[in-house]
């Protein structure tokens, strides 16, 4: 094995590759090359891979209709040609011999600069280098070229740890002064010691009279009034500097507020980055790598299709990317044939907002003010009876015929935390018809990011949920690829529906179906979504009409009936939920954000009866170990035949069942 790291770095660093203005990526700086990477490991007929770290320099024409909708583009600095400039990190992991690849880019939208390909290879990391870093090698064995590029500004996400970030210009008033506007930063400490609230943007001044802090312990929108939400006296908080506010949590005023209290700070901020240029950076980088035929393009002539995956924040980004029309490049070509927004629910992203907080997503009883929880929630262009608006994620791409195929994939957690029901209903509690190029899947009984094993968490009442959704995600990505590149129709959508009784109100408990399990609380909590009037700033935004939020119905075990049911749900040893509740002293009874629950069955009938547990015990379900394993195998085989599970993941699931103690 021969590694060319040092000699190639010396060859490439400082070389700037120039392209025509039409390419929009006008310069590419190669920072490092490792060839081969992964310790020289070969991936079947595809062979070895190499890793390229680069930086792209781009510019956009602010008068082009594709760019003029970028918020504050008119306040951006211009170069001598009247263009607006930006730069973005570009990381590429490609076959050494591109002719042996599959002519596809697996484009992973980085999450706060971090790579998410570990959902496919089981091992991730921002700088995969060794053979161990290849994990299962799924993407490489299938010949994909992996591409990651920055879209979030390094002023909002700290650089380091090989993150892929962007450098976006600051909006300035025409006279050169700072743009100033009130914005919101929210925090829950979940400990007794934290005091510092880090501001999303720099404060325009340190005048306390121009800022306001509020605190509350509990959900403040359900039912309309701002429950338990009170203003914190200025004597209790102070500016450390223009990036940090310190709270005196020992002040007697805060005595009623526990360690899980939510703090909301409204203040005048200054100097917003032009966030929408991050969307343009993604568009331009992908278009360049795919279409530029000059010798400077490391992927020249090798790519026919690009399929994007984005998880959580990155899934919200993919929806925003599509909504704002960036799936059309500056020559009118489609950027992504397919997208897989994963665990994004119905929430959007403030990636084209002044002072937007792209990190903010509705969580439990916090971030209702800064998160982007607003119509349109779904892909179809439709009238919204709550807001009175007509819109859809596909509003712009339908006009230009550049809409991607969509494989919208959520865990059960998003049903409660980022109400997925609003993707598939009209906001009043009625099913809607999805566009033909959209599939929606809920992976039943999973939390936002499954834990490696059931474990106690810092703030939740029950053990965390280890039921994995990545095996389903992998199979759905491959089905999306087949659909977008070969026209092979994918599996039909699988999600809870009003029409078949699997999408229901969370209360009463008898309607939702969750059993009464000793020691397990059920409150019917979900994350409410309301119209929010932010024009009232710097006073508090006012919630208006509420959307109807429905949740999955469960079976007698408390497991979701609808969606893709992993063998862990089809042949269960426990109740697996997408929701969980907080324990004292962390706002007890509130939702435990991204976490679900693992509530094991009793081992024997006698134990079950002694605990008054209505769920059948393992002894009553499975005659012996072989019976359990055979049922798991049948459930896994069904998913493989339905193209909802890959063969290799099926083998792993069956092997794990065989190695378990269930039924022994």
594 or 223: which leads in pLDDT: 594
Give the per-residue pLDDT at 363: 73
Q: Please give the torsion angle defined by the CA atoms of residues 77, 80, 82 and 88, in that order, rounded to the nearest 10 degrees.
A: -60
Query: What are the extents of the domains in the chain?
Result: 1-169+272-303, 180-270
Answer for the pair 618, 662: CB distance below 8 angstroms, yes or no: yes
Look at residue 277 and tell me whether its pLDDT is greater than 90. yes
Q: How many CA atoms lie within 13 A of 192 on its CB side?
A: 4
Q: How far apart are CA 637 and CA 651, in angstroms?
A: 9
Q: How far apart are CA 632 and CA 590, in angstroms?
A: 35
DSSP assignment letter at 651: H
Token pair recorded at residue 636: 């896994």
Look at residue 219 and tell me whether its pLDDT is greater than 70. no
Look at residue 14 and tell me whether its pLDDT is greater than 80. no
Mean pLDDT for the chain overall = 93
Give the per-residue pLDDT at 506: 96
Confidence label for 371 from pLDDT (cuts 50, 70 and 90): confident
Answer for the pair 414, 341: CB distance below 8 angstroms, yes or no: no
The predicted model gives 307-321 an average pLDDT of: 98
Left (φ > 0), alpha (ψ -120 to 50) or beta: where does 581 sit?
beta
Task: Classify residue 173 as exposed, middle or buried by CB count within 10 Å of its CB (0-12, 13-18, 19+).
Answer: exposed
Confidence label for 227 from pLDDT (cuts 50, 70 and 90): low
155 or 322: which leads in pLDDT: 322
Look at residue 11 and tell me whether its pLDDT is greater than 70. no
Give the per-residue pLDDT at 538: 66
Q: If you count DSSP H runs as helices and E runs as strands, how many of each does the chain have, helices first?
A: 15, 26
Confidence label for 225 from pLDDT (cuts 50, 70 and 90): very low
**Cα 373–chain centre separation:** 14
Give the per-residue pLDDT at 270: 98
Q: How far apart are CA 574 and CA 572, in angstroms?
A: 5
Look at residue 16 and tell me whether its pLDDT is greater than 70. no
b/e map 291-310, b = 16+ CB within 10 Å: bbeeebbbbbebbebbbbbb
Token pair recorded at residue 251: 């002040």
Give the per-residue pLDDT at 221: 42
- Kindly report, residue by residue over 384-443, the tens digit of the pLDDT: 999 999 999 999 999 999 999 999 999 999 999 999 999 999 999 999 999 999 999 999
Q: Which uninterrupted H or E stretch holds 489?
A: none
Q: How far apart are CA 327 and CA 318, in angstroms?
A: 10
Note if the bond before 559 is cis, omega within 30 degrees: no
DSSP assignment letter at 346: T
Give this prediction's pTM.
0.94
- Kindly report, residue by residue over 511-565, the tens digit of the pLDDT: 999 999 999 999 999 988 988 777 776 666 677 789 999 999 999 999 999 999 9
Cross-strand pairs, 460: 582
| Closest by CA position to 600, among listed 586, 615, 587, 590 | 615
Q: Where are the beta strands (DSSP E) in 129-234?
A: 145-149, 166-167, 180-188, 196-198, 212-216, 230-231
């Amino acid at each position: 094995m021969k590694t060319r790291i040092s000699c190639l770095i010396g060859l490439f660093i400082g070389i700037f590759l120039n392209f025509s203005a039409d390419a929009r990526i006008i310069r590419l700086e190669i920072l490092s090359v490792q060839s081969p990477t992964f310790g020289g490991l070969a991936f079947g007929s595809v062979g070895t891979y190499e890793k390229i770290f680069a930086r792209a320099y781009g510019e956009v024409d602010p008068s082009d209709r594709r760019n003029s909708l970028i918020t504050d583009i008119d306040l951006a600095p211009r170069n001598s040609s009247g263009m607006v400039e930006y730069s973005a990190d570009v990381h590429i992991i490609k076959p050494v011999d591109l002719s042996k690849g599959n002519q596809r880019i697996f484009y992973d939208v980085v999450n706060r600069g971090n790579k998410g390909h570990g959902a496919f290879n089981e091992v991730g990391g921002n700088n995969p280098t060794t053979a161990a870093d290849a994990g299962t090698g799924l993407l490489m064995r299938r010949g994909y070229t992996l591409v990651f590029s920055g879209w979030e500004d390094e002023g909002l996400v700290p650089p380091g740890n090989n993150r892929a970030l962007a450098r976006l210009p600051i909006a300035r008033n025409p006279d050169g002064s700072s743009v100033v506007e009130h914005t919101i930063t929210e925090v829950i400490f979940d400990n007794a010691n934290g005091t510092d609230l880090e501001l999303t943007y720099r404060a325009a001044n340190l005048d306390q009279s121009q800022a306001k802090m509020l605190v509350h312990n509990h959900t403040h929108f359900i039912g309309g009034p701002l429950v338990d939400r009170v203003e914190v006296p200025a004597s209790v908080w102070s500016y450390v500097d223009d990036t940090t506010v310190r709270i005196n949590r020992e002040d007697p005023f805060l005595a009623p507020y526990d360690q899980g209290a939510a703090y909301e700070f409204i203040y005048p901020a200054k100097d917003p980055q032009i966030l929408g240029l991050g969307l343009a950076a993604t568009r331009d980088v992908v278009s360049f790598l795919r279409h530029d035929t000059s010798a400077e393009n490391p992927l020249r002539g090798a790519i026919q299709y690009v399929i994007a995956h984005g998880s959580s924040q990155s899934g919200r980004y993919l929806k925003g990317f599509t909504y704002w029309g960036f799936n059309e490049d500056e020559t009118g070509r489609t950027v992504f044939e397919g997208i897989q927004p994963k665990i994004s629910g119905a929430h959007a992203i403030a990636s084209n907002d002044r002072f937007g907080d792209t990190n903010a997503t509705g969580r439990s009883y916090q971030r209702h003010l800064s998160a982007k929880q607003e119509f349109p929630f779904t892909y179809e262009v439709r009238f919204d009876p709550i807001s009175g608006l007509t819109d859809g994620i596909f509003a712009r791409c339908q006009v230009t015929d550049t809409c991607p195929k969509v494989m919208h994939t959520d865990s059960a957690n998003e049903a409660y935390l980022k109400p997925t029901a609003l993707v598939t209903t009209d906001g009043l509690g009625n099913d809607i018809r999805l566009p033909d190029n959209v599939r929606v899947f809920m992976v039943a009984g999973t939390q936002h990011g499954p834990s490696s094993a059931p474990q106690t968490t810092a703030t939740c009442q029950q053990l965390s949920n280890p039921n994995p959704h990545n095996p389903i995600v992998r199979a759905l990505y491959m089905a999306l690829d087949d659909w977008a590149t070969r026209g092979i129709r994918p599996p039909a959508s699988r999600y809870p529906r009003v029409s078949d009784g699997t999408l229901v109100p969370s209360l009463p408990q008898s309607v939702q179906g969750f059993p009464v399990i000793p020691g397990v609380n059920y409150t019917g909590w979900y994350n409410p979504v309301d119209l929010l009037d932010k024009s009232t700033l710097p006073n508090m935004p006012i919630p208006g009409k509420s959307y109807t939020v429905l949740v999955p119905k469960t079976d007698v075990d408390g497991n979701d009936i609808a969606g893709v049911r992993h063998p862990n749900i089809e042949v269960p040893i426990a109740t697996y939920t997408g929701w969980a509740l907080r324990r004292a002293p962390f706002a007890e009874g509130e939702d435990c954000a991204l976490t679900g629950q693992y509530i094991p069955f009793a081992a024997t009938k006698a134990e079950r009866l002694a605990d008054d547990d209505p769920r059948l015990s393992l002894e009553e379900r499975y005659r012996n170990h072989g019976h359990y394993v055979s049922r798991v195998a049948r459930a896994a085989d069904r998913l493989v035949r339905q193209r909802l599970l890959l063969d290799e993941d099926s083998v792993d699931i069956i092997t794990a069942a065989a190695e378990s103690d269930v039924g022994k």
